[in-house]
Structure 1
Amino acid sequence: MHMRIAALAACLAAFLACAPAMAADRLTLDDAIRRVEQAHPDLRLVGAKRDVLAAGLDQASLRPPLVLGASVENVMGTGDRRFLDSAEATVTLASVFERGGKLEARRTLAQSRIDALAVDREAKRLDLLAEVARRYLAVVAAQRQRDVAVQDIAQRRRTVAGARHRFTAGASPQSVVFAAEAALSRAELERARAQQRERSARQHLAALWGERDPQFAVASGNPYALPALEAFSALSAWLDRTPEIVQFTGERRIREARLQLARSQATPDWSWEVGARHFREGNDVGVLASISIPLGSRSRAQPEIRAAEAELAMLEIERESRDLSLYSTLADAHGRYLSAQLEVRLLGREVIPKLGQAENAAERAYRAGAISYLEWAQLQSERTIARKQQLEAALEAQRALIEIQRLTGQPFVEGAATNEQGEDQ
């Protein structure tokens, strides 16, 4: 299990593989994961639960206690029984002799709960690891959105310069200059929004390990690096080994232990007592012993046995339901990944380069007076929209990849990651 978690942690950082080396003060995805593992209360809570369950195991291992008793009879009466003349003092030692394997059944139930806790911790750790990756990706997404805005600003500034040049030469009205400046302002607004989203995303990421005023900078990753996946049939085969399904094995042991404990209640326990009685008259001593066996234990245990059997049978239905849910989620994530991966590839190889060529040609034509400002501005807008579309598709693919890795606990990388940025190289 730990090897699978480590493999998943390495793969969740896949989109950082193509990033340049960063300064030591830059927070990487691995750094974020380590901070969460050390500080997140959900993981510390598992340790506290283990202490509670360990105490429960110690308690379950205790045998019925010995009971020391004492009684005095025939005192403070009348006639011959005045004062202590006919007193009878009795000292007893009593306990319960457990039968039917109750002690072992209690131990098994307590131990099975402790064993299931380890799988539960790994499941929580896997979920947290995926959440770290999602929040880290949100920071990287804001950085890339800011980069797209910066590229758009550079385009718009060229438009403003060209519009002013044409206006100064008397080849176009001043309204064209105002329209170009307004488009530049919108691009600068989009950059400011992306910067604010990055700050919010960093705060959201830092909240996972309890940092309230994050000062770190996040190492910029490459969301366009999309690895190849194995076939869906191979991915779905790993679902049986995911912690969400493995947990049912531990739960089965717990419910089987409950059933065994319920069945043990059908065997009655024997209550025994031994002691000595002192008779004041004659100063005699007698030994006493008793044993008592409750009747009807088998019939009284039947409702609890039936309930335990029903819970055990219901577990298989619950497992089947969870398996169907995981399979459906995996199928959806796999489809979204492939669709987004295809979109990133086509936009990067076909659409964005051609729009870049068209925009450059339009700029030359505009400066030569062959086309209007609107035609040039329209091509700039389309190029920016295509970049945003490709970035959103890449982010969607990364989110789907994180979900696939969370469900399966496997990297599933067949070949080198693709780099379909679609930007002018």
Structure 2
Amino acid sequence: MWLRMTAVAVLAAVPGLCAWAGTPLSLDDAFARVSRQHPALQLIDAEREQLAAEADAAALRPAMQLGLEVENAFGRGELQGLDRAEITLSLAGVLERGGKAQARQALADQRLRALTWQGQAQRLDMLAETARRYLAVCLAQEQLALAGQDIDQRKRTVAAARLRFQAGASPESVLLTAQAALARAELEQDRQRLQLQVARRHLALLWGQADADFDRVSGRMLALPAIADFEQIAAHLRNAPELAQLADRRRIAEARLQLARSERATDVSWQLGVRRLQENGDSGLVASLTVPLGSAARAAPGIRGAQAELGMLEVQREVEAFSLQATLADAHGRYRIAQAEVQALRTQVSPRLQQAERAAERAYRAGALSYLEWAQLQGELAAARRQQHDAAFEAQRALIEIQRLTGQSFVLAAGDAGDTP
């Protein structure tokens, strides 16, 4: 469930807005590269081998001991040599009581089981980080395309200003101002080109490449899907990776408590052997039992500590649940606000500014409008386009966070809840 970022995969589901050559890197391709090559995900396999070995060790019974004891040998007088020696060959062991072996095995199994959920949660976090960096590349591409559009506008302005200057209808200062604005737009394009290079390298570093081997990524950052209501999404927080890991820690703590309680039962050490008297050649059976005292008192601190850990984990789970709900509410609200902003800029602001900019161009060429008024409209149009992409970027980041928190996809079908195509 947590291994597929369906919500953020909307970035890779449709072709990009920008006109680039070559095959783009899709979000699924980026996920696959990170899954194969990121060392943090490979570390889980090594930890699993370690815990599996510890589980095998926990299943072992206490070792048997084979002993040989020689008394009254190699001394003085009558005890010289081995003539009067007493030789005992024995076998000893420990009889565990209270289910200690089963408790050790249960603890080792719970730790191994928890590693599986930990690995899935870590993988989800890594995929979310991949989606965020992928989104940054997509934004850089869009900003570079917007810079190109701004340059085209400024070039038209320079051409119109030159015609009016040559016709004597406008001073040279207007032409120089228009050329300066064009130069600033070209500078911004260079900056966005470098920003794209940095974003591509930042993404490629996730799979260990210092230089990106792709030129672009696919995706429509402005395609914001409709999502479910907050109450519907919040109901799935019980499946959040953070809470699942706390549940695993609780099961481990319960296994530790059971192991601590088993320490109250007294283990019995036994020994069985044969003793030979060299003086007359007789032999006999030797047996012993050893029972330590005070086992319950020694086990009491460990039991109290395990019980305190269980209580702390319960409180920690409640704290984490409140924190997750607050984070989810913030992400859901940011998405809805940014989605509404993108929709308003697309349908109400940008079309009117585009019409006003075209009308201003006609008026300027006809001598009915000043250069400053036309340039101001061009600046407002460029600012509205950047604002629209910034809002879409914020919405996509919030969508990634919703997906990471719940491990679920809450993208609705088009038209279900005011979908923004």
- Normalising by the smaller structure, the TM-score range is over 0.9
Within 2, Cα distance between the matches of 1:192 and 1:242? Answer: 42
Within 1, Cα distance between the matches of 2:168 and 2:342? Answer: 43
Structure 2 residue aligned with 1:183: 181
1:10 to partner: Cα distance: 3.1
Cα gap change, 1:23/1:185 in structure 2, threshold over 3 Å: closer, same or farther?
A: closer
Moved more, 19-28 or 402-411: 19-28
Q: Is the counterpart of residue 11 in structure 1 residue 7 in structure 2?
A: yes
Residue type at the aligned position of 2:13: A
Structure 2 residue aligned with 1:121: 119
Residue type at the aligned position of 1:18: V
Moved more, 345-354 or 72-81: 72-81
Between the two proteins, the alignment pairs up a number of residues equal to 416
SS in 1 for 2:94: strand
The 8 Å contact of residues 12 and 402 in structure 1, kept in 2 or not, is answered as yes
Structure 2 residue aligned with 1:361: 359
> Among 55, 58, 70, which residue is 1:57 paired with?
55
SS in 2 for 1:225: coil
1:224-235 to 2 correspondence within 5 Å? 224-235=222-233
Moved more, 286-295 or 368-377: 368-377
Residue type at the aligned position of 2:295: S
Cα gap change, 1:372/1:23 in structure 2, threshold over 3 Å: closer, same or farther?
A: closer
Q: Is the counterpart of residue 281 in structure 1 residue 283 in structure 2?
A: no
Within 1, Cα distance between the matches of 2:182 and 2:67? Answer: 94
The 8 Å contact of residues 330 and 404 in structure 1, kept in 2 or not, is answered as yes
1:24 to partner: Cα distance: 7.2
Within 2, Cα distance between the matches of 1:225 and 1:251? Answer: 40
Q: Is the counterpart of residue 393 in structure 1 residue 396 in structure 2?
A: no
Unaligned 5+ segments in structure 2 are: none
SS in 1 for 2:92: strand
The 8 Å contact of residues 15 and 226 in structure 1, kept in 2 or not, is answered as no
Structure 2 residue aligned with 1:403: 401
Structure 2 residue aligned with 1:196: 194
1:27-106 to 2 correspondence within 5 Å? 27-106=25-104
1:18 to partner: Cα distance: 3.5
Structure 2 residue aligned with 1:222: 220
Structure 2 residue aligned with 1:370: 368
Unaligned 5+ segments in structure 1 are: 421-425
Moved more, 205-214 or 324-333: 205-214
1:193 to partner: Cα distance: 1.1
Structure 2 residue aligned with 1:315: 313
Structure 1 residue aligned with 2:255: 257
Aligned-residue RMSD, C-alpha: 1.6
Structure 1 residue aligned with 2:297: 299
1:213 to partner: Cα distance: 2.3
SS in 2 for 1:350: helix
Cα gap change, 1:113/1:317 in structure 2, threshold over 3 Å: closer, same or farther?
A: same
1:121-160 to 2 correspondence within 5 Å? 121-160=119-158
Q: Tell me the percent identity.
A: 55
Within 1, Cα distance between the matches of 2:214 and 2:148? Answer: 22
1:248 to partner: Cα distance: 2.0
Structure 1 residue aligned with 2:337: 339
1:419 to partner: Cα distance: 4.9
Residue type at the aligned position of 2:357: E
Q: TM-score, normalised by structure 1?
A: 0.95
Structure 2 residue aligned with 1:423: none
The 8 Å contact of residues 15 and 224 in structure 1, kept in 2 or not, is answered as no
The 8 Å contact of residues 123 and 243 in structure 1, kept in 2 or not, is answered as yes
Within 2, Cα distance between the matches of 1:24 and 1:272? Answer: 77
Within 2, Cα distance between the matches of 1:62 and 1:388? Answer: 66
Within 2, Cα distance between the matches of 1:356 and 1:246? Answer: 51
The 8 Å contact of residues 75 and 86 in structure 1, kept in 2 or not, is answered as yes
Within 1, Cα distance between the matches of 2:210 and 2:356? Answer: 47
1:382 to partner: Cα distance: 0.6
